[in-house]
Structure 1
Amino acid sequence: MTLVAIKAGPYHFTARLEEDLAPVTAARFKAMLPYEEKVIHVRWSGEGVWIPMGDQPYDLPWENPTRHPAPGEFIFYPGGYSETEILLAYGGVAFASKLGPLAGIHFMTVVEGKENLAALGKKTLWEGAQSISFALKD
């Protein structure tokens, strides 16, 4: 089991890569580590934060897709109808874009620090973009 250490704003989380459910996407994300970016609050989807990744699509299979990630679930949208992105749900999410409903690949799940997800979401909503970093956990 591969664990990822995440620092988002002032909060720390540990997440599990879903290597059995989304092996190709998990391996692709693992190859990106360490990864640093900023999260902003979602526009269309509800209670989530996301990392916009531009218009470059990723060639990933539709493994473990969902439109409704649970709090603590990360989904990867590889591009196509909307821009490429990674989304973290902190509450109720119905993943969508200005073009309508979308599905993303559930590839990682927070296993430690879930109690701080809502605080991260609210901080991002009211204070703006927050730094986020991902690294393999020792």
Structure 2
Amino acid sequence: MTLLDITAGPFTFVARLEEDLAPVTCARFRSLLPYEDSLIHVRWSGEGCWIPMGDTPFDLPWENPTRHPAPGQFIFYPGGYSETEILLAYGAVAFASKLGQLAGIHFLTIIEGLEQLPELGRSTLWNGAQRIAFKVRA
């Protein structure tokens, strides 16, 4: 089991890569680590934050797809109908874009620090983008 340390704004989390459910996606994400970017509030999806990754598509199979990630679940959208992105649910989410509903690959789940998610979401909504960093737990 691979664990990641995540820092988002002033908050810290521990997350588990869902390697049994999404092995190709997890391997691809691991190849990006350590990874740092900006986390912004979602536009259409509800209580979530996302990391826009531009128009570069990732060639990934549709493993472990969902449109409704639970709080603490990260989904990876590899591009296509909308831009490539990673989304983190902190509350109720119905993953969507300006073109309508989408599905993403659930590949990462927070296992420590869930109680901080609502505050991270509110902070991102009202105060703007937060830095987020992922690294393999030592």
- Length-normalised TM-score, structure 1: 1.00
Q: CA deviation at 1:42?
A: 0.1
Q: CA deviation at 1:100?
A: 0.1
Q: Give the match's secondary structure for 1:132.
A: strand
Q: CA deviation at 1:49?
A: 0.3
Q: Give the match's secondary structure for 1:14.
A: strand
Q: CA deviation at 1:119?
A: 0.4
Matched, 1:108 2:104: no
Matched, 1:35 2:35: yes
Q: Provide the alpha-carbon RMSD of the alignment.
A: 0.3
Structure 2, gaps ≥5 residues long: none
In structure 2, C-alpha distance between the alignment counterparts of 1:26 and 1:56, rounded to whole Å: 18
Q: CA deviation at 1:136?
A: 0.2
Q: How many residues align?
A: 138
In structure 2, the partner of 1:11 is 11
Q: CA deviation at 1:132?
A: 0.3
In structure 2, the partner of 1:47 is 47
Q: CA deviation at 1:131?
A: 0.3
Residue type at the aligned position of 1:80: G
Q: CA deviation at 1:32?
A: 0.5
In structure 2, C-alpha distance between the alignment counterparts of 1:97 and 1:105, rounded to whole Å: 15
Q: CA deviation at 1:72?
A: 0.1
- Runs of 4 or more, structure 1, over 2 Å off, are none
Matched, 1:65 2:65: yes
- Length-normalised TM-score, structure 2: 1.00
Listed one character per residue, the Cα deviations across residues 22-80 of structure 1 (whole Å, up to 9, x for unaligned) are 00000100110000001000000000000000011000000000000000000000000
Q: CA deviation at 1:102?
A: 0.1
Q: Give the match's secondary structure for 1:62.
A: coil
In structure 2, C-alpha distance between the alignment counterparts of 1:49 and 1:76, rounded to whole Å: 12
Structure 1, gaps ≥5 residues long: none
Q: Give the match's secondary structure for 1:125.
A: helix
Q: Give the match's secondary structure for 2:31.
A: helix
Q: Give the match's secondary structure for 1:60.
A: coil
In structure 1, the partner of 2:76 is 76
